[in-house]
Structures are given as C-alpha cells and as structure tokens.
Amino acid sequence: MATTHETIQAPVRASSIPAFDVKRVREDFPILKEKVHGKPLIYLDNAATSQKPEKVIQAILRFYAHDCANVHRGVHLLSERATEVYESARRKVQRFLNAADAREIVYVRGTTEALNLVAQTFGRRHVQAGDEILITAMEHHSNIVPWQMLCEEKGATLRVAPINDRGELILEEFEKLLSARTRLAAVAHVSNALGTVNPVRQIVQMAHARGIPVLVDGAQAVPHLKVDVQELGCDFYAFSGHKVFGPTGIGALYGKLELLEAMPPFQGGGDMISSVTFEKTIYNVVPYKFEAGTPDIAEVYGLEAALDYLHHVGLGNIASYEHALLAYATEAIQQIPGVRIIGTAREKTGVISFVLDGIHAHDVGTILDREGIAVRTGHHCAQPVMDRFGVPATVRASLAFYNTKQEINALAAGIQRVKAVFG
C-alpha cells in the first residue's frame, strides 16, 4: 500500500478502497513534466481535454511507423494488421460501455459528430412537424444545436427541462415534459459546466414508459464513471476519445442494434456501401453503414491504448480517488472569501465551477496561467447554464486522476494571488 503524502483515501469506508498511487500514474503522462511560464504545469482543464499517457502516444506512433495502411481494403499484410487493430479496438469500446454487440459501436470524430449523426439520421426519419425533442437546461451546446437545427428543418419544438439552484435536473419537471409528441430525449450523463451526474437510469425508465428513446451525451462521464449501457437502458450513448485520455478526432456512438439497422446512413462514400452502380447503391451493414471514407485509424490505435490504460488503472480506483480529491478541492476553494461555487449537486464528478466576487473569470484565468495553472474560463460551451445562474462566465477547475492535493493547494494559493492583484 502506498503511503506517500500524495495518496488520498476516500472519507467513507477508506479501508475498502484500494490505495491509489498518484505519483506513479503521473509518471505515465509525459506532459506532466512540462513547465509553463517557468513553473510546473498544473493541469486542471480535464473537462476540455485530458492528457495522454505515453502508451497512447506510442500506439499512434506504432500505426504510422509500422502498420500504416487503409482498413477493410487491402489484401496485404499492413492493411490486415491495421484492420485487425481497428476491429479489436471496437470490441474494446464495446466492453468499455458493456454493449451487447460490437456492431452497436460506430466510430465517429467525437461526441459532437455522434449527436449530429443521430439528429441527421434517426432524427430526420422520425421527427415531424409538431413533434418535440426534450433536452435539459444543463446541456453542452453540442447537445442543443443539432436538435435546434433538426427542429427548424422539421417544424418541431425543442423542450428544455429545468434545473434547480444546485444544478440538478428537476426530475418531476422532466417527466411532465415527456409528451405524446416527444420523439427523443437527449441528456448529458454528466454536465461539463457543473459536474452534475444525472440519474440516467431513472430518466430512461420515465421515457421508456412512454415509448420515448433516450440519447445520452457521455463525454464527461466516461473518464470518471464505469458506464454500462445495458444497465442504463439508454438507446444511444456518445463519447469522445480525447476526454478519456485518448487522441482527438475519434469517439464512439453506441446505438441499440435494431435502431441502428433501421436508420438511414449518415454520410455517403467508400466503406459504407456493399455495392454501387449508377442506378442503385446498396448500403453496407452496421456499423460500417455509418463509417464513410477512410476513418481515423491512428486515432483508433490511440483510443484502444487509452481504454487498455484505463482498464489497467481501474475506473473504480479512479472514481474513489477523484471523489476524495473533489471533496478536498471543494473545501479548499469554497472557504476562500468571495468565492461562489456554481454547481453543488449532490451527485458530482470532478468539476468545480466558480466565480470570484468582483473579478472577471478571464482575469482569474490569466493570473492562474502565470502560476502554471491551466483552468478553463468562459461559458464552457454552455451559455444557457451561465444564464440560469446569472453569470457571464465562470472559472472551471476540472480534475483527473493524475491531479494531486498539492495541485489543489496551488490553485487555492493562486486564487489568493488573484485577490491580492485586484486588492
């Protein structure tokens, strides 16, 4: 058992939680040795993108240095190797989400593309004039705008379920908004701006009781929680590789097989067809029907390495460590006079959004940056959330399992420094 001062135990049932050696996992991330403005990097912008372990960087390199070829095309060895990894990684994504079938995993560029895919295929087929799509008031722009575009095209209406002052979805209001005209409910598993974890199982049960399918934006959930799509019961689940310690440009959409099979294709091109003549094209089977053109093969190599790495560290260990670190950070930040934390849900992952009395988030961000501390400042692509809490912008510190108590102490000291500059 690790006994370094950097080891944090969760406050509850500490003895049952395996020790987590943060010092050792930090060694896996080359970027954590970087200096910023002459100071050690303190990376607290993990909800924007996560850092990459050496194994992910090596996997991308391995594709270009040894296996570079297109997939599903060549009879030559390199193509065979690349195709093998491309498909074995799909099975890893399947296990990662506990999907029933690897064909239910569609590679996409990221969560945004996944949501647009569903809007443009499932949505265009099933949503008609007068219909409704239900989202929540805590959604990221990427789970708002694709539905607005669809509603505008079809003459449908976007309904928004409200959140309370803690930043939690008001379930009874959500339930009331599920109507006979609702064709889809699209909800975040975890809010990027507030850290709120939504009760997805309950949401799915409410929606399914009325025959309404549910899409879950899982971008902020998969780096922190063990996700089981069969247990959640959701119909679609989307995530981005880059937020889960993998590369940018790759993500996955899970969709129930019967839904995917009934959906029209997304983009047209190579690989998504089984035969083409000028008179008639026959589309490929799922998931290839949705994967037109040469995919991001190197990124799939990277994603596979990221999921292997996460499996190795253990999402259970990660969740308990982050839970304890979040409690520590919340305490450290909220005791600073003039700080107001935005988003105080009872179920939260490692996001601390806050405002400082009389000091704009951007000024906070600039001063923290000079201390080597990377945080996000602004509206976090969730302007309606900012409006709900009556703030133009917040400072957001978002945690990953490689963050430490010392880094949180540095953040708190940085905030004190901001206050000193502004007197």
Chain contacts with another protein (rule: CB under 8 A):
358-363, 366-367, 370, 377-379, 383, 386, 392-393, 421-423
User: Which residue is associated with the tokens 């240095």?
Assistant: 65
* Residue 214 or 361 with smaller CB distance to another protein: 361
Altogether, the residues listed in the chain come to a count of 423
- Residue 68 appears among annotated catalytic residues: no
The token duo for 393 is 């912008």
Shortest Å distance, C-beta 377 to another protein? 7
Q: Retrieve residue 52's tokens.
A: 């990459």
Q: Are 348 and 397 in contact (CB under 8 A)?
A: no
Q: Which is nearer to another protein, 112 or 120 (CB)?
A: 112
- Least spacing, CB of residue 41 vs another protein, in Å: 17
Q: Are strands 394-398 and 351-356 parallel, antiparallel or unpaired?
A: antiparallel
Detail the DSSP E strand segments found in 249-380.
Answer: 251-255, 273-276, 281-283, 339-342, 351-356, 373-374, 376-378
Residue 45 Cβ, how far from another protein at the closest point, in Å? 14
What are the helix (H) ranges across 353-400? 361-370, 383-388
- Which C-beta is closer to another protein: that of 295 or that of 414? 414
Residue 74 phi, psi (nearest 5): -85, 155
Q: Are 199 and 205 in contact (CB under 8 A)?
A: no
CA dihedral sign of residues 307, 309, 314, 320: negative
* Active-site position among 68, 151, 234, 381: 381
Between residues 204 and 375, which has the closer beta carbon with respect to another protein?
Answer: 375
Residue 93 or 367: the one with the smaller Cβ distance to another protein is 367
Query: Are 353 and 193 a contacting pair, CB within 8 Å?
Result: yes
Residue 393 beta carbon to another protein: minimum distance, rounded to whole angstroms: 5
CA distance 398 to 316: 19
**CB-count exposure of residue 328 (10 Å: 0-12, 13-18, 19+):** middle
Locate 395 and state its tokens.
């400072």
Nearer to another protein, 283 or 422 (CB): 422
* Closest CB 391 distance from another protein, rounded Å: 9
3-state secondary structure of 3: coil
Q: How far is the CB of 44 from another protein (least distance, A)?
A: 17
- Chain-centroid distance, C-alpha 126: 26
Q: How many CA atoms lie within 13 A of 409 on its CB side?
A: 4
| Residues annotated as part of the active site | 381
